[in-house]
Homo-oligomer: A and B are copies of this chain.
C-alpha cells in the first residue's frame, strides 16, 4: 500500500452531510475543502465505484431532462460506521497532509464529545514536536557562525518551529473555545 486512502473518508464525510453526485463532490475541492486538500474527478469516479463495491456507499440513478443520467450517492450504515471509526482513530501527520485537520473539518457540532480527546492527543504530539525542533535548532545552530554557514537550513528550521508553535497556540485556543461552551 502507498498512502492511507484518506480521500475515501473525505468522500464519506461529504456524502454523510448530503447525498450528491461525483461531480458535486469534485466541485468541493475547488472551494471549501480545496483550501487544504486536492482531488480530481478522475480520481473520484473510480473510487466511488470501488466504495460502492465495498458497500460503503450506494447510489440512486436520477434522470434529468430527456436522457441525462446522474448518480446520486449516499452512505450506507457500513459506510457510516467506517467513517466514525476513522474519526476516532489516532491521526498520523507525516509531514505533508495533516489528517487531524481533515478530521476536524467533519466535526460539525461544537459540543461533540470527540473534540476534547482529539485535541489533547494532538497537543501532546505537537508539544513533543516543538520541543524536538527547538532542540534541533540548539544543536545545529548554537552560534551565528553556524547560521551563516547554513543559512537556508536555519531559516527552514526556524519556520518549522514557528509553525509548530502556531499550531500549539491554535490547539490551546481551541480548548478555550470549547471550555466556554
Residues of A whose CB lies within 8 Å of any CB of B are 32, 35-38, 94-97, 101, 103-110, 112, 133, 136, 147-153, 155-160, 162-163, 166-167, 169-170, 174
Q: Give chain B residues whose Cβ lies under 8 Å from the Cβ of A174.
A: 155
CB-based closest 6 A-B pairs: A107-B152, A96-B96, A110-B151, A166-B166, A104-B152, A105-B156
Task: For residue A92, give the distance in angstroms from its CB to the closest CB of chain B.
Answer: 12
Interface of A is mostly: helix
Q: Give chain B residues whose Cβ lies under 8 Å from the Cβ of A147.
A: 110
Task: For residue A83, give the distance in angstroms from its CB to the closest CB of chain B.
Answer: 14
Task: For residue A147, give the distance in angstroms from its CB to the closest CB of chain B.
Answer: 8
Task: For residue A127, give the distance in angstroms from its CB to the closest CB of chain B.
Answer: 16
A35-B160, A103-B152, A110-B147 known; 8 other A-B pairs, CB under 8 Å?
Answer: A35-B157, A38-B94, A104-B156, A107-B151, A107-B152, A108-B150, A158-B170, A166-B166
